[in-house]
A and B are shown apart, each in its own frame.
Chain A
Amino acid sequence: MRSPLSRILSLVVATAAVLLGACSKDPAPSSAPGGATTPQSITLWWFQWAPADGLQELGREFQKETGIEVKVEQIPLGSYQEKVFLEFGAPRTRFDIVIGDSQWIGRGATKKLYLDLTEWLPTVVDLKTIHPRAAKYLCEYPEGSGKWFAAPCETDAVGLAYRKDWFDDPAEKAAFQQRFGRPLAVPQTWEEFKDVATFFQRPDAKRYGCSLPSDRSYDGLTMGVQNLLWAFGGRWHAETSNKVKGELDTPGSVAAIEFYKQLVKLGPNGAERMDYGQVLESFTNGSTAMILNYFAFFPGIHAQFGDKVGFAVVPAHEGKRVASLGGQGLSISTHIPPAQQELSKKFIAWFLQRKVQEQWITKPAGFTANSDILKSPEFRAKAPYNGPFAESVDSMQDFWNVPVFNELLTVTQRYVGMAVDGEMPTEEALRQLAEEKERILKEAGLL
């Protein structure tokens, strides 16, 4: 008969064995019974939105042609970045291809998380067909260096959506003409934009002038403000270096933020803190005359409102027009076996073909970086937002994409937020922001 001690010890050993078993790594995939090879597949991670559905549809086409299954896993936007970079902490990422934000590319390239595609990419696509701005900001690191760490997937820029039916209303036209002495038209300058927003700002009638990205939780405010910052002559850093002091804290930047402060007051309640979804919602609920948002959201607006809405490029200031870049590139994880990297390359090569890009632009919010397609009259005629989109790509510009972009974004959101909220004078906020940015860049060895 066994003693109580030996029973307890047996129980402890059994429990430990179960726990260790549960904690052990997943077993390696085995081949199918009968020696048949396991079906090949690749996994892509992207955030949860309409273009990801379109990419999944294209993936099914790819599977028909090659037999390689494509799984597009959609992660909620709010936690996408954290999940992706936590995943890179593992020896084997669960994704083969990550469709990463343009700003991540510095981190992906310098930390060797993204596979270097420089040698391989020109063998499958003519790089001249990729729009130079998409190449510079979405694919190359350092910008314009010719070192490729991504292939363009979704090219995007901030644009303007407006209520065409309100703009065309004869009564509104007459009232605007009387008040401002010029016809009511799609604003070409930020000053005109402000006038139109002021004109339509009627809170008592639940009608509002404009909504702009202004959220503080990730990058909304920065992506909204920088459209004005560049147009008003400001910049995040010097043209040819990472120098910030004397570049950001300038009268042009101050004027841009001061102007932005006025614009957020011409929106619905809470307009000083709206994420992209809330900006969109303020428009789709029929209350707001104009919004600034990424073109990727515009097909949904068009589907809902039809001809009642119009689309345009962002306004300019004294002839200078710059659109904030959005979009993501396809990057292959270095934390996957070479065989999976080869499958991933096959998919990217297939995706970049002109015939596939022509399919891509038919998917909801599928926007291409293919210059030939962007230039083609067929593309521009296909949807009312395509023309302004193609024009915006020519003027788009991005925030920092150095490895410490996140820290730079954090301080930008904070100090610009304090300026917009009136918690700190704009000049002082920009002075402190410039100092903080230079500290971060120096610590990272980038200045």
Chain B
Amino acid sequence: MSTTATATRQRGGSAIAWALVGPTLLLLIAFNVFPLLYNVALSFTNRELVGDESRWVGTANYTRVFGDPLFAGALRRTALFVLCAVGAELLLGFALALALVRDFRLKRTVLAVVLVPMMLSPAVMGLYWALILNGNYGVLNQILGAVDLPQPQWLTDRDLKFWSIVVIDVWMWTPFMALIALAGLSAIPPHLYEAAEIDRASRWRVFARITLPMTAPLLGLAVLLRATDALKQFDIVMATAGPNDAATQTLSTLMYQVVFRDGKIGLGSAFACVVLVVVIALATVFTRYLDHLRRAREA
């Protein structure tokens, strides 16, 4: 075959490759890269939701973000939310997976029922939970009242409302953790357990040396996915408390308030940039940790 023919074929192959990748790249640039860069540019302006005025304000928006007690409060609250909700989901989900990994009658039915919460829309579930937890006519307080138990104000008591939202999130997303953990548990080769049994390893030792390390990478991935999702918590807070409650405001609802209620696009963009940096930093730390786990497992 001549060199010219090879070069022509290579050029043709390269063109096909670009033709295949090109549309995706274009879409990524249009819907991811451009909005991101535009958001960064907006964060240095005083752009508002309505009106054409837009003036360069330097780092004034960032100064405001870092000096704003609302931002500090929302950041602290969001971190607490991620820690508590994802932590509880991990523990409960793993426990649920351990209970479901063995074969028993109606296992498939039980599994299907357990998975229902995560299949539902968070916004709709938030509205349902707002009805269930309503202090006056909510079904939960009606039941508590019927058996002469105190009827707390789940969504209005300042000490309870944040935790009510955590509980709703745990209810929704524990099945997701359970599903991932179940996949991890099912993938453990049975011969490892057989070998441990021959060695007369204790149940705790089996759990600590086989079950946990073998499922850890998948659990880590699930935690990463849930943590990044929980950092954006919006639907449940909006449905149960609204965007402006000092006790429940998360970063996403604060941004909603700033952009869509107050109409401050520039300031909201600065909020978004800071949140993005926080999320990327956390995700990087976590993926590195997952890599470390993977390498340790391979070694």
CB <8 Å contact, B242 and A216: yes
At the interface, yes or no: B206 with Cβ under 8 Å from chain A?
no
Name which residue of chain B comes closest to A217, CB basis: B242
Chain B residues whose C-beta falls within 8 Å of the C-beta of A277 in the assembled complex = none
Partner of B241, one of A216, A404, A407: A216
Query: Chain B 224-256, CB within 8 Å of chain A: the 1/0 string?
Result: 000000000000000001111111000000000
CB <8 Å contact, B262 and A406: yes
Within 8 A of A (CB), among B79-137: 134-137
Number of residue pairs spanning A and B whose beta carbons lie under 8 angstroms apart:
87
* Count of residues in B whose CB is under 8 Å from the partner chain: 34
Name which residue of chain B comes closest to A274, CB basis: B136
CB <8 Å contact, A406 and B135: no
CB <8 Å contact, B242 and A86: no
CB <8 Å contact, A273 and B156: yes
Chain A residues whose C-beta falls within 8 Å of the C-beta of B257 in the assembled complex = 410
CB <8 Å contact, B135 and A269: yes
* Count of residues in A whose CB is under 8 Å from the partner chain: 42
Q: Which of B11-19, B190-198, B276-284 contacts A (4 or more CB under 8 A)?
A: B11-19
At the interface, yes or no: B23 with Cβ under 8 Å from chain A?
yes
Name which residue of chain B comes closest to A272, CB basis: B156
The secondary-structure label for the interface of chain B is loop
Given contacts A81-B261, A216-B245, contact A270 B156 (CB under 8 A): yes
A414 to chain B, nearest CB (A): 5
Chain A residues whose C-beta falls within 8 Å of the C-beta of B16 in the assembled complex = 4-5, 8
Q: Give the docked Cα–Cα distance between A50 and B20 (Å).
A: 55
Given contacts A417-B246, A423-B158, contact A406 B263 (CB under 8 A): yes
Chain A residues whose C-beta falls within 8 Å of the C-beta of B141 in the assembled complex = 269
At the interface, yes or no: A421 with Cβ under 8 Å from chain B?
yes
Within 8 A of A (CB), among B1-43: 12, 15-16, 19-20, 22-23
Within 8 A of B (CB), among A52-92: 81-82, 85-86, 88-89
Q: Give the docked Cα–Cα distance between A394 and B135 (Å).
A: 37
CB <8 Å contact, A217 and B243: yes
CB <8 Å contact, A82 and B260: yes
CB <8 Å contact, A86 and B19: no
CB <8 Å contact, B151 and A269: yes
Name which residue of chain B comes closest to A267, CB basis: B136
A441 to chain B, nearest CB (A): 14
Name which residue of chain B comes closest to A414, CB basis: B246
CB <8 Å contact, A421 and B158: yes
| 9 pairs of A and B residues whose beta carbons are closest in the complex | A217-B242, A270-B135, A269-B135, A111-B51, A273-B156, A269-B136, A268-B136, A270-B136, A82-B260
A interface residues, Cβ below 8 angstroms from B: 3-5, 8-9, 12, 15-16, 81-82, 85-86, 88-89, 107, 111-113, 215-218, 268-273, 278, 282, 285, 404, 406-407, 410, 413-414, 417-418, 421-423
Of the A-B pairs whose beta carbons lie under 8 Å apart in the complex, a sample of 29, sorted by A's number, is: A3-B12, A8-B16, A8-B20, A9-B19, A12-B22, A16-B23, A81-B261, A82-B260, A85-B50, A85-B263, A216-B241, A216-B244, A216-B245, A217-B243, A217-B245, A268-B136, A269-B135, A270-B135, A270-B155, A273-B155, A273-B156, A278-B136, A282-B136, A406-B263, A407-B262, A418-B246, A421-B247, A423-B158, A423-B246
